[in-house]
Amino acid sequence: MQTNVRVRFAPSPTGPLHIGGVRTALYNYLFARKMGGKMLLRIEDTDQNRFVPGAEAYIIESLKWVGIEIDEGQSIGGPDAPYRQSERREIYQKEAFRLVEEGKAYYAFDTADELDAMRARLEAANAPAAQYNAITRMQMKNSLTLPAADLKARLDAGESYVIRLKTPRKEEVRLNDLIRGWVTVHSSAIDDKVLLKSDGLPTYHLANVVDDHLMKITHVIRGEEWLPSAPLHVLLYRYLGWADTMPQFAHLPLLLKPEGNGKLSKRDADLGGFPIFPLEWTDPFSGIVARGFREDGYLPEALINFLAFLGWNPGTEQELFSMDELIAAFSIEQVHKGGARFDIEKAKWFNHQYIRQQANADLAPTVQHDAEVAGFDCSIEKATKIVALLKERIHFASEIFPEARTIFYTPETYDETIAGAKWNADAKAAVAAFRDALQADEGEFVAEHIKHTLSEAMQRAGIKQGKIMQAMRLALTGSGTGPDLMLTMEIIGRPETLVRLERALERLN
RNA sequence: GGUCGAUUCGUCUAGCGGUUAGGACACUGCCCUUUCACGGCAGUAACACGGGUUCGAUUCCCGUAUCGAUCACCA
């Protein structure tokens, strides 16, 4: 039935892309790829007042970063260009006027004040709904109520107007949502929505339906916030004569606050100390910088895996999925109906899983950079070794350098608690014996050999190795905790290891 | 408030009439280990409530409660 699946992600460039938007894009993408279809990116910039410079580029860069590939869009072209709604105004106007001609829509001249007055009046009268609809429109200033001559005069004079949909008074509007099943709404709940604004640009409803039709969209996968207006869109398809090719709808559950009531917001992210945008974003008006998942050290694979599982589940016990695996496993019917609470701890866990799978060489530049920022020289070879030493232990690449910090300098101070408890006569003798053994040793300075040298030295000195290991660590790093000590020494190198042992014997008492 | 929708461990969820209600995150304990982590093992913890339908309801139906979305010349 559906031969050429085409879906679209249609954000508004009113600011950085919210993480919920990324998930919507992801589900669209997974579905498109799964079905062997196409993914479009359409920029819905019909609200001139909310336009934010840079937002469109940000959206494109974000999708690219997380690995969502667009087949058609403003930046890459396609058969239905332009993909920016502000550049398609004539297309919408044509359809809007057509609806007026066919008696399915009408001109309305009411001012904002008049609309307010109407709503106030209805509310005062305890009307069931204070809206512009089949009942109230006959009391307003529009092409249905104005005398023909008056109407013509207003239009000729260029008076500003909007075009409103003539919503039927009594009609059941049904739609079969892929996720929610049949949803029925009575047309009386839908008001006479503005289709074309007085600035000549369409509202979301018109633009959306016209573009989805023209771009041959087969499946509209979007957030739950659109569910209430979906019947209106069904009505529009019918009035425009496109009912037979109307796309299928799928309304996604929302992302909820980590705790408390409501949907996930920027404020929750700030409070919880986690990002909510994929990339760092500098507000062009205020200059305020908002953190991004990328800059916070999340791997795109981890973010995607985490997001995919917020509202969907393959039904198996597998948790780690690459994008290709997600595509293979995805099914829109398995998407949840209820909202999912956002839990950053789970995102961290996913990141840990992906960090440990990363090649050492891929993580090394981060360590090298962090070391240089801290004022240390660090070759890429050294950084790679440090990654190998630590990547299994941490959740973010940025945690590697701080854990490896003591590798870069001879300790100036020693943890006093550990020194007090562990730096005894045995420890001193052990360090001295190990130093002597190391000086005499000519083998390759690698972890395994160092370990061998150490245990031999302890045996000769008659010292129980287990008793002095923490003191040894203290002598070498100044700290009581840290990664594998033998590997640490290997990275430090023989000369520096000897310097540190000597220094400890001089300074620790 | 009207309309529409949702409701399984603290969180993400599996379940689609008969299960010891499964997994993951987090938490706790044990093991591993020279330390801290990682890892392994184990444990605490859930079907919102009330009616039906049925031999039998977490599962189907109806209420109630709670939560969510939406009611603009914003998307």
pLDDT tens profile A242-280? 999 999 999 999 999 998 888 899 999 999 999 999 999
Residue A202 bridge partners (DSSP): A196
- Whether the pLDDT of residue A459 is over 50: the answer is yes
Phi, psi of A297, rounded to the nearest 5 degrees: 95, 10
Active-site pick, A34, A64, A216, A266: A266
Specify the pTM.
0.95
Give the pLDDT mean for A150-169: 95
Nearest protein residue, CA measured to C1' of B39: A392
- Whether the CB of A186 is less than 7 Å away from nucleic strand B comes out as yes
- List the Cα angle A168/A170/A171 in 5-degree steps: 85
Cβ burial A451-477 (10 Å sphere, 16+ → b, else e): bebbeebbeebebeeeebbbbbbbbbb
CA distance A38 to A72: 8
Nearest alpha-carbon partner for A137 in A158, A102, A101, A162: A162
Nearest protein residue, CA measured to C1' of B1: A128
Helix or strand run (H / E) with residue A182: strand A181-186
- Whether the CB of A24 is less than 7 Å away from nucleic strand B comes out as no
Active site residue A166: no
Residues of A 325-384 whose CB lies less than 7 Å from any atom of strand B:
334, 336-341, 343, 345-346, 348-349, 352, 356
Q: ipTM score of the complex?
A: 0.96
| Percent of chain A with pLDDT strictly greater than 70 | 99
- Whether the CB of A309 is less than 7 Å away from nucleic strand B comes out as yes
Residue A162 bridge partners (DSSP): A108
Give the pLDDT mean for A80-108: 97
Distance from residue A309's CA to nucleotide B54's C1', rounded to whole Å: 36
- Whether the CB of A228 is less than 7 Å away from nucleic strand B comes out as yes
Per-residue pLDDT reduced to its tens digit, A379-425: 999 999 999 999 999 999 999 999 999 999 999 999 999 999 999 99
Give the max Cα distance, chain A: 114
Q: Which nucleotides of B are covered by protein (CB under 7 A)?
A: 1-8, 10-15, 22-26, 34-39, 67-75
Residues of A 401-420 whose CB lies less than 7 Å from any atom of strand B:
none
Q: For residues A456 and A189, which has the higher predicted lDDT (pLDDT)?
A: A456
Q: Are strands A181-186 and A72-73 parallel, antiparallel or unpaired?
A: unpaired
